[in-house]
Amino acid sequence: MVDRHFSRDADSLTHRAYTLRPARSLRFRATVWGVVCLLCACAGAAVFAAWQARRADMAQEQCTPTPVDEATKQTELTRARLALAQESAARAAVQTAADSAAAEVARLNAEVQFLRGQSKGRSAAVAEKAPRR
């Protein structure tokens, strides 16, 4: 059957309180974290310094304006004025067409209303003359 000696050892092992212990000491872990944080801070500072240096070089190049030819400027201005005049003329033509179409719709609507009134009056007169059975 079961060996009594083995059973007693198992009982003593299962009734103990066990706790986890770190493999490294607290001092070692704190030192490693400190070194890692220091290295990250140094890398961030180096990247920031490089970005600032590149940004400083770009700012000087962007500040110089490009020269513009006066004849080109006048040509573009004339072209823009002509396009504006064409747009204004097109809008005026569209507005005139819309006004005339609205007047035509109003005239046709009045004519339809008149014809509907005539047909209702005629049907009422026919209904009065017809004999009832």
Q: What are the tens digits of pLDDT across the range 51-63?
A: 988 887 765 555 6
Q: What is the mean pLDDT of residues 110-129?
A: 80
Res. 99 pLDDT band, cuts 50 70 90 = very high
- Under DSSP, the state recorded for 130 is S
Start-end of H helices in 1-133 = 4-14, 26-62, 70-129
Q: Token match 């872990």: residue?
A: 29
How sure is the predictor about 20, in pLDDT bands with cuts at 50, 70 and 90? confident
Is the pLDDT confidence value at 70 over 80?
yes
CB 84 within 8 A of CB 91: no
